[in-house]
Homo-oligomer: A and B are copies of this chain.
Amino acid sequence: MNELSHPTPTVTCGPLPASTKIHVAGERHPGLRVPMRRIALHPTAAEPPVTIYDASGPYTDPAARIDIARGLPRTRADWIAARGDTETYAGRRVRPEDNGFAEGDRLTPEFPALPIPRRATKGAVTQLAYARAGIVTAEMEYAAIRENLGRSTAATRDGEAFGAAIPDFVTPEFVRDEIAAGRAILPANINHPELEPMVIGRNFLVKINANIGNSAVTSSMAEEVEKMVWAIRWGADTVMDLSTGRNIHNIREWIIRNAPVPIGTVPLYQALEKVGGVAEDLTWEVYRDTLIEQAEQGVDYFTIHAGLRLHHIPLTVDRVTGIVSRGGSIMAKWCLHHHRESFLYEHFEEICEIMRAYDVSFSLGDGLRPGSIADANDAAQFAELETLGELTQIAWKHDCQVMIEGPGHVPMHKIKENMDRQLEVCAEAPFYTLGPLTTDIAPGYDHITSGIGAAMIGWFGTAMLCYVTPKEHLGLPDRDDVKTGVITYKIAAHAADLAKGHPAARLRDDALSRARFEFRWEDQFNLSLDPDTARAFHDQTLPKEAHKVAHFCSMCGPKFCSMRISHDIRAEAKSKGMLEMAERYRAGGDLYMPAD
C-alpha cells in the first residue's frame, strides 16, 4: 500500500466482552493509575467479578481517545524528569540509510509528533541502579500493583516452584529487591514515556513476548502497528519489532509512540541494512550508531548476540541445522570473514555505557541456539551460554539490566537442563526462551510443538516466553497467526503459573469451572482467553440465546450431560440418608478380592 494515502492507520479498539478497565491507585506514588481488566459475571453468579492482568493498554478503554498520529499519553515523562538525572538534547539526525534509502511513495511517513530525546547526564539511569540505591521508583510500584491482580486475599498455595520464591503479595520493595539482585528486569527506556511498566522475573507472573515486523518480502507500517495493538489485546506482555528491509526507522517510531508495552529489537538487523546486507561490511561504528538511533527512539530492550565468539563457530560445523539465529549467523559470518573476535564481544563495555544512559535492557541473544532436535543441548549452545554468563556480570557491573535468551528446538527430556544451567551460569538473571519446540515434524503447527516446551520451561523457571506462530519456518505471521500465537503462549504461561503455585493463578480457572458447572455459558465465554472463539464455537451448533442458559451442549445432548446429572446427585448426596448408606457399603468391604 502507499503509506501516504493512509497517513493515520486505524487499529482495533474497544473492551473485550463483559470487561471493564479499572485503575488501581498507588500509595507511595499517589498519581499512579494501574490498569486491570474486570470481568463481570452473570447476575445469577453468587460471586464477585474476576480481575485479571491487563497488557492491552488504552486501546481497550472506551474513555481513551486513540489517535495513532498523536501516540499514547506520555505518562512517565514527569517521573523521569523529576529524577533530575537526565537531560534532553538535539539527538541524532535521521539519515536516508535509516529507512533503507526509501523515497517518495515508498517512504513510510515520519511520525508527526516526534519527541525530543533524553539521556543520562552522567552514569546509569537504569531501574537496576535505582534498586541498588534502595530507591523504589514509580515504575517499580506500578509493576508491583499489576502483579497482585487487585487481590485482597491470597489463594491456596499448591505447586512445585523449583526454587522460585513467589510471595503471597508483591510489594514495591519486593520488586526493587528482585531487580537489585538481578533476578528481575523492568524494561523501561527513558525515551519510552508511553510505557505501562511491567516486571520480568522468575518470582513474578510468567510473561510472553510477541514478535512482529515487516520483512524485505512483505508488509507495511499500518499492518505492523495494528499487529502490535492486536498482540497486546490478546495478552502479549512485550512486543519485539523484528523488521528488516526498508522503512524500519519510521515504522519503529510509529510502533513505539503507540506502544504501552516494552518494545524490543535486534539492532544488528538495521545495522546490516545500513551496509547493504553484506555481513562482512559491518563495523562497530555502524552498529554503535544504530544503538544510539534506537535508544533515542525509546526501544526498551536490545537483543545483542555478544556471546557468540570466534572460537565457538567450529563447534557448529557438524550440526544438522548449523546456526539458525539470524543475528548469530550474521555475526558468525563477520567473525569468519575477518578471522577476528566478534566486535560485539570486544566492545561490550562500550555497549553497556550506551545502554545505561537510556536504560535499555540487555536481552543477551543465543546466536547458537539449536535449530533441530538433533542439535539440542550441544557443545556450541552451552559454550555460548558460558559467555552469556560472563557478559551478565559485566553488564551488572555497569548497572545494566539483563535477561538471557534461550532455545530453540529441544526434546522434553532435555528441557530442564537448559533451565538449570542458565540459572547457574547466569546467576539467576531472567531467562527468556523461544518455545522450545519439542519436535521438528510439524511445520504449520509449531505454536503447538513449542507451546508444550514453553509451558514446561516456564514451570521450571523461565521468566518470559517468546511466542511461536503457526507460520514458523514457513512465512511471515499475519494477524490471525499473531492471535493464535499469543493465545497459545498465554495458555503456556498460565499453565506454568498454576504449576509453580502462583497464589493468584487458579482464581480464574476456578471461576470459569464454576461457571461451566453452573451452565453460565456467557460467563464461561467471558472468562476464557478468547471469548469470541469460545462463543463462535458454541454458536455453530446452538446459536439461540436460550442455548446460552441451556443445561447441556451439543457435545453430549440433554440426556447425557454429566454436569446436569451431577447437580441431581449433589442434591441427593447432601441428604444424610445417602451418606449413611454409603458408609454401610464402605464397611461391607469389597465384593471381590484381587486374584493374588
Chain B residues closer than 8 Å to A439, beta-carbon distance: 491, 494-495, 498, 509
Docked Cα-Cα span, A245 to B269, in Å, equals 60
Interchain CB contact under 8 A, B373 and A567: no
Docked Cα-Cα span, A322 to B590, in Å, equals 24
- Interface stretch of the complex, out of A88-96, A105-113, A256-264, A339-347: A339-347
In the assembled complex, A474 has its CB within 8 A of some CB on chain B: yes
Q: Which of chain A's residues 472-505 have a Cβ closer than 8 Å to chain B? A: 472-476, 478, 487-488, 490-492, 494-496, 498-501
Given contacts A442-B530, A452-B452, 9 further A-B contacts (CB under 8 A): A160-B413, A309-B585, A311-B582, A314-B582, A389-B594, A439-B498, A440-B512, A452-B495, A474-B537
Closest to A500 in B: B413
- Chain B proximity of A407: nearest CB distance (Å): 14
In the assembled complex, A444 has its CB within 8 A of some CB on chain B: yes
Chain B residues closer than 8 Å to A565, beta-carbon distance: 279, 323, 329-330, 332-333
List residues of chain A with CB under 8 Å of any chain B CB. Answer: 159-160, 215-218, 244-245, 269, 272-273, 277, 279, 309-311, 313-314, 316-317, 320-326, 328-330, 332-333, 336-337, 339, 341, 345-346, 348-349, 371-374, 389-391, 393-394, 396-397, 409, 411-413, 438-445, 447-449, 451-452, 455-456, 459, 470-476, 478, 487-488, 490-492, 494-496, 498-501, 506, 508-510, 512-514, 516-517, 524-525, 527-530, 533-534, 536-538, 540-542, 553-563, 565-570, 572-574, 577-579, 581-583, 585-586, 590-596
Which of B336, B346, B487, B585 touches A445 (beta carbons < 8 Å)?
B487
Interchain CB contact under 8 A, B244 and A581: no
Chain B residues closer than 8 Å to A394, beta-carbon distance: 592, 594-595
Chain B residues closer than 8 Å to A277, beta-carbon distance: 559
Which of B316, B495, B538, B579 touches A569 (beta carbons < 8 Å)?
B316
Interchain CB contact under 8 A, A491 and B449: yes
Chain B residues closer than 8 Å to A397, beta-carbon distance: 595
Interchain CB contact under 8 A, B455 and A537: no
Known contacts A451-B452, A452-B495, A556-B215: does B441 contact A562 (CB below 8 Å)?
Answer: no
Closest to A309 in B: B585
Closest to A493 in B: B439
Docked Cα-Cα span, A319 to B594, in Å, equals 30
Q: Can you give 25 A-B contacts (C-beta < 8 A)?
A: A215-B557, A215-B560, A244-B560, A311-B582, A313-B578, A317-B573, A320-B514, A322-B563, A322-B567, A322-B570, A324-B562, A329-B563, A332-B565, A371-B562, A373-B509, A390-B592, A439-B494, A439-B509, A440-B510, A441-B509, A443-B537, A445-B533, A448-B488, A448-B491, A470-B537
Interchain CB contact under 8 A, A537 and B444: yes
Which of B217, B272, B330, B559 touches A216 (beta carbons < 8 Å)?
B559
Interchain CB contact under 8 A, B528 and A586: no
Which of B478, B487, B592 touches A442 (beta carbons < 8 Å)?
B487
Interchain CB contact under 8 A, A269 and B442: no
